[in-house]
Amino acid sequence: MSESRDWSVAEFGRVDLGDTRRTERLVAIGAAACERPCGKVAAVFLTDREREGAYDFFESDHVEAKEIMAGISAATVTRSIGQPFVFVAVDGTSVTVVDHGHEHDFGCVGSDSNGARGAKVVDALAIDPNGVVIGWLGLTFWARSPKRKVPARSTHARQARPVEEKETRYWLQTVKAASDALDERNLRGWFQIDREGDGCDLLLALRDSGHFWTVRGNTDRSVEIEGGDVGRLRAQLAAGVVAGNYELEVTARPRRRARTARMVVRVAKVLLRLRDRRNSRITKLQVTTVWAREEGTTPPGEEPIDWLLHTNRDVETLEDAKLVIYGYAQRWRVEECHRTWKGGECDVESMQLRSFAALERWATVLAAIATRIERIKRLSRTQPATPATIEFTLIELRALKMLKFGEERPDYEPTIAEAISWLAEMGGYANKYSGKPPGATVLGRGLRHLRPAARLLAIQLAAAK
């Protein structure tokens, strides 16, 4: 059994597709995609028989993407056991594919003018307290209906639609799927959601989930203050006591200069007034709001860093507040997974499948591959002294040392940082030039060299017995 197949069995072996032969085919597909990740099915499978089997699998009416996702979620939960909690980053994205003639049942992606086609996705990614990716807890795909020219609605009219008619329902479904998966093993999640989550329906769903949550505020909300008066959130926070401050290293990017930002932290327990646009009913939600804002270090012409975070966690000290901020920062792990999944090593957007259902099935498999690449990347940065066997098998490590050192390979087992460094070098990583830690692209290229070498080594060792 190849090392890629071992991984695929762990990831997909629990999937119930109504027939063990379908599950076995899924495991074989997962192993091939693990060795040669690519959005184009023809580039993953080596023989015509394998390609035809994969195409038949993805187009089969007997295969449900939600069942594949259920197996991935179960594997993620198993890896999460023993953690005090797991961060759950919930985010939205899209998978864009080529469909110039609008011949297939994909949906609209982006604005009406660009004519892009594909699928919309809301996903939930489990991350351990050290910031290492664990795996997916939920993937919800949908195809937007074709755009129709209808009279423009007012903002109020759009917001007043039932939740069943809004895309908010896919966020609710994803949060529920992640919550249910964690509940089955009595695990505690800490949901992390960006500004899209600052809405009445999603905030109340998080409140009822039984898990921790943090949502970045999108507006200066109305709050109820002592005596029943109504005020604005930022004004109440600004008038309160400063909890403390800390320094944040800001990296350079377009329209933002590198610097050490001085972040001032304010904390308050507030009663948010959530208005239901459908009936104007007000629901009051007790939260702790942590406001971290850059003061005194913002370069001219730039906006200060400003995070307004609502949470149901108790915040009594500055360290408690910094933990809330740290947790929200882990949300970026899901965006890194999106890059690896969509346009990076997995390149799901290059797929040429001809139906939405096939897209959903293949994209779900590749999403699992993307999390393994991101996982080993983060492990090397956060737990560098950990033995490499935490993520690599002995056969993979032996093949890695042979590829790196040849006959003069060392007889010790490397740390995860050493193994990742060797793997990245095979993928073209040049530390002395970049000065940055290895990224998903070079690690993905390195894995492409390692996996077939490990497979061949396993065959040779089996033949020698």
Render 338-366 in DSSP notation, one character per residue. Answer: HHHHHTSSS-GGG---SSHHHHHHHHHHH
pTM greater than the 0.75 cutoff: yes
What is the C-alpha to C-alpha distance for residues 60 and 51, in angstroms, rounded to an integer? 14
Q: Which residue has the higher pLDDT, 240 or 306?
A: 306
Q: What is the pLDDT, as a whole number, of residue 433?
A: 67
Q: What is the pLDDT, as a whole number, of residue 210?
A: 95
Residue 388 falls within a domain, yes or no?
A: yes
* Backbone phi and psi for residue 112, each to the nearest 5 degrees, phi listed first: -60, -35
Q: What is the pLDDT, as a whole number, of residue 408?
A: 83
- Tell me the two tokens of residue 47: 């023989």
The predicted-structure confidence for 238-254, as pLDDT tens digits, reads as follows 988 899 999 999 988 88
Which residues constitute the domain of residue 419?
383-464
Residue 453 falls within a domain, yes or no?
A: yes
Label residue 227 by pLDDT band (50, 70, 90): low
Distance (Å) of CA 447 to CA 73, 279, 441: 24, 55, 10
Q: What is the pLDDT, as a whole number, of residue 461?
A: 87
Residue 158 pLDDT greater than 80, yes or no: no
Q: At what angle do helices 48-59 and 20-35 cross, to 10 degrees?
A: 120
Residue 261 falls within a domain, yes or no?
A: no
Q: What is the pLDDT, as a whole number, of residue 72?
A: 97
What is the C-alpha to C-alpha distance for residues 437 and 434, in angstroms, rounded to an integer? 8
Residue 54 pLDDT greater than 60, yes or no: yes
Label residue 159 by pLDDT band (50, 70, 90): low
Residue 248 falls within a domain, yes or no?
A: no
Q: What is the pLDDT, as a whole number, of residue 1?
A: 42
The predicted-structure confidence for 369-397, as pLDDT tens digits, reads as follows 999 999 988 988 889 999 999 888 888 99
Mean pLDDT of all residues in the chain? 91
Work out the average pLDDT over 220-244. Answer: 86
Residue 433 falls within a domain, yes or no?
A: yes
SS3 for 108?
A: strand
- Measured in whole angstroms, the distance separating CA 177 from the mean position of its chain's CA atoms is 15
| Of the candidates 33, 10, 36, 12, the residue with the CA atom closest to the CA atom of residue 22 | 12
- Tell me the two tokens of residue 150: 């209808």
Residue 73 falls within a domain, yes or no?
A: no
| Of the candidates 306, 230, 214, 243, the residue with the CA atom closest to the CA atom of residue 270 | 230
Residue 448 falls within a domain, yes or no?
A: yes
Cβ–Cβ < 8 Å for 442, 428: yes
Work out the average pLDDT over 246-271. Answer: 93
Per the structure, the count of domains in the chain is: 1
Residue 328 falls within a domain, yes or no?
A: no
